Structure 1
Amino acid sequence: MTWLVLGASGFVGSAIMHALRSGGIDARGLPAPRLAASAQTPAALLEAAAGTDVQGLAAAMEGHDVVVNAAGLATPSASGGEDLLGANALLPAVLARAAAAAGTRRFIHLSSAAVQGRTERLDETDTVRPFSAYSRSKALGEQALALAADRAPGLSVVTVRATSVQGRGRPTTASLARLAQSPLASVASPGDARSPITSVEALADLVLAVGRHGDAPPRIVLQPWEGLTVRTVLEAVGGRPHVLPSALCRVAVRGGYGVSALLRGRLDGHVRRVELMWFGQDQAPGWALEEGLAPEPRVRAVLAEAQDRARTPGAASA
């Protein structure tokens, strides 16, 4: 089995490449093309993908059993634009067309659980509730890819929805460690809500399991929960979170979104991060658990390392 990973030099892509090579799998990376898009609907994005020349991409994909799209713009606070839509909404459908033309067996697209927004429980349905420019671009990418998959019946297409992925070298992980050790660290009472915090190593293991699976996985696979609550996440990075009244936290969240609405949604991403810190987000068990393919939880070790680095002078720049 041979694999091709687009975006192999990025945070998630490099973890997937490491997992593949550690498992003795023949894998190589390929830079993703830079695309721009103005289309705002799945159908229009599919039309744009159909008009994109994929000959060069298809030639690069030939001979590979599995193609992974780990490329895109991971910018949750982005305000939108053609580059964001091109990277997150148009690119998946273009790559799927190329993979089908190359005779690839399986195409795996890395998406984000942010597409389901503030829903109380993440799941593997095609229901999306985007709340920001970033989550909207990722949701459009999933929908355009689904339309492209319908036109390529010989290609197994799987969208893996990553949750809040943490790892060494990721700025959000360093920020989480600093926040946990600050007076702002807090959770909504009683503090036992599930947190979607996960590790990049577990995500890479999940991608391997999806690619290796003999039967066709479902079109959407959610990254499994790694067992931490909103309180234990902050404690794992050295924090001693305050437990705040749940009702007060809900009022504050509603107020934050209200202010953001006056600013055309510019603060949505920031308010959402606070909401997740306080209330977390539940997850349905999902396909990986049902198949016995849930990766080994690694997030505690990732957070412990982030705690050590945050407390070591000069570690952040090492």
Structure 2
Amino acid sequence: MIAAVLGATGFVGSAVTNELTKQGHTVMRVKAPRLVSTAVSVGKLLAQSHSMHAEIQALAESIAAADVVINAAGLATSGGQSSPELTGANALLAVLVARAVTVADVQRFIHVSSAAVQGPSTVLDESTDTTPFSAYSRSKALGEQGLTALASNTVILRATSVQGQNRPTTAALVRIASSPLSSVATPGTAPTPVSSISSLAAFVVHAATVQQQPVGIVLQPWEGVTVTSVLRAAGGRDPLRLPAGLCRLALRTGYAVSTLFGERLHGPIRRVELMWFGQRQEALWAARSGFVVRPCVELTLERARSHR
């Protein structure tokens, strides 16, 4: 199979490229254009993309020989404020690639999105429901909405809280897990969507190559870890257990303060929320399609801790 990968040199894209190569597929590394957009609605996003004929044609020509296109490009900043660059990279680019895929008549398009679009929902699932809570998650949600409005054969693949040995967010998790701040909400047995980059790459390639093509939204499956086991792997010791009510009060206060400062703290606060309460996942398509999860996140975190 020939796979065209946008963002092939990035954190997710490089792992996907390595997995494709390992499985014997040919990879075309496609440079993603740098885009800016001020769109705040699906209508404006689609209108902007519709007028970009030259960019769509250039992308179509670069992917024309591919059997599948995988968009792993984007800005993975979980904090900060909204910007034209963020919207361009995470929303406009997705729609632009989808239009190019149609022009090039490529039959399968995998867009790597983020489970952050469902924010603090009790359960992460494969529905179109989104509750974005930050500039980053809103930009990813807008991209999903744009792809859905195009009614194309795009597969929206939602990655969860992906960790890698050399990733800054993983280093931050290791620091917290190794400190007195390492804690979970009682009883500490909640499942967590913290996952490994190797497991995500395997799932992306599965979605790209499985005989029966997935449709709509698919969710990266759970790696079988809990809030306690993740912190134990990252910090080398069991976390402190805190009263759940106290944790919820602290989170409500934190989000309220962050809102006053333009949501600048929403990303870090959300990471604390995941550390304390975790989040369940209902990855139905992965189970139906026969995907076998490779649980690597604890080993990934242990290695990150040993190399700090």
- Which residue identity is paired with 2:145? Q
Q: Unmatched 5+ residue regions in structure 2?
A: none
Which residue of structure 1 lines up, in the alignment, with residue 2 of structure 2?
A: 2
> Does the CA contact (< 8 Å) of 1:224 and 1:294 recur in 2?
no
Kindly state the Cα deviation for residue 261 of structure 1 after the two structures are TM-superposed. Answer: 2.1
Q: Does 1:220 align with 2:217?
A: yes
Quick one: distance in 2 between partners of 1:57 and 1:229? 42
Distance 2:80 2:165 in 1: 23
Task: Give the structure 2 partner of residue 166 of structure 1.
Answer: 163
Aligned to 1:313: none
User: Which residue of the partner structure matches residue 315 of structure 1?
Assistant: none
1:262 deviates by 2.0
Q: What letter corresponds to residue 121 of structure 1 in structure 2? A: V
1:281 and 2:279 matched: yes
| 2:2–2:67 contact (8 Å) kept in structure 1 | yes
Counterpart residue identity of residue 227, structure 1: G
Which residue does the alignment assign to 2:21? 21
- The alpha carbon displacement at 1:6 in A equals 0.3
- Per-residue CA deviations over 1:107-127 (Å, capped at 9, x if unaligned) read 100000000011000000000
CA–CA distance in 2 between the matches of 1:180 and 1:239? 8
- The number of aligned residues is 305
2:180 corresponds to which of 179, 183, 187:
183
- Residue 273 of structure 1 deviates from its aligned partner by 1.0
Kindly state the Cα deviation for residue 263 of structure 1 after the two structures are TM-superposed. Answer: 1.9
Q: Deviations over 1:153-207 (max 9, x none)?
A: xxx3101000000012111111111111111100000000111100111111111
Query: Which one-letter code corresponds to 1:55 in the other structure?
Result: Q
Query: Where does residue 38 of structure 1 map in the other structure?
Result: 38
Give the Å deviation of 1:218: 2.4
Helix, strand or coil at the partner of 2:110: strand
2:190 touches 2:227 (CA, 8 Å); kept in 1? yes
Task: Tell me if 1:265 matches 2:263.
Answer: yes
Among 232, 235, 243, the alignment partner of 1:235 is: 232
Displacement of 1:264 after TM fit? Answer: 2.7
Q: How much has 1:143 moved relative to structure 2?
A: 0.5
* TM-score normalised according to structure 2 size: 0.97
Q: Contact 1:85–1:137 (CA<8 Å) still a contact in 2?
A: yes
Partner of 2:105: 103
Trace 1:80-91 onto structure 2 (pairs within 5 A).
80-91=82-93
User: 1:230-256: CA deviations, max 9, x gaps?
Assistant: 000000121331001111111111111
Preserved CA contact (<8 Å) 1:66 1:104: yes
In the alignment, structure 1 segments of 5+ residues that lack a partner are: 311-318
Larger displacement relative to structure 2 (125-134 or 300-309): 300-309
- What is aligned with 1:244? 242
What SS does the aligned partner of 2:307 have?
helix
> Alpha-carbon deviation of 1:268?
1.2
DSSP-derived class of the 2:58 partner: helix
Contact 1:191 1:278 in 2 (8 A): yes
For residues 35-54 of structure 1, the C-alpha deviation after alignment (integer angstroms, 9 at most, x for no partner) is 00011111211111111121
Shift of 1:29: 0.9
1:53-85 CA deviation, whole Å, 9 max, x = no partner? 211111111110000000000001020110000
Contact 2:199 2:295 in 1 (8 A): yes
- 2:208 aligned with 1:211: yes
Q: Is the 8 A contact 1:59 1:102 kept in 2?
A: yes
Aligned to 1:168, the other structure's residue is in SS state coil
Q: 1:201 aligns with which of 198, 203, 207?
A: 198
- 1:295 shift after superposition: 2.8
Deviation of the 1:258 alpha carbon: 1.5
Secondary structure of the 1:72 match is: coil
**Over aligned residues, Cα RMSD in angstroms?**
1.0
Q: Distance in 2 between matches of 1:6 and 1:296?
A: 24
1:257 positional shift: 1.1
Structure 1 residue 302 and structure 2 residue 267: aligned? no
Deviates more, 1:110-119 or 1:40-49: 40-49
Contact 2:117/2:138 (8 A) holds in 1: yes
Using the TM superposition, name which of 132-141 and 172-181 deviates more: 172-181
Give the distance between the partners of 2:69 and 2:255, measured in 1 at CA. Answer: 39
Residue 94 of structure 2 aligns with which residue?
Answer: 92
Look up the equivalent residue of 2:239 and give its one-letter code.
Answer: P
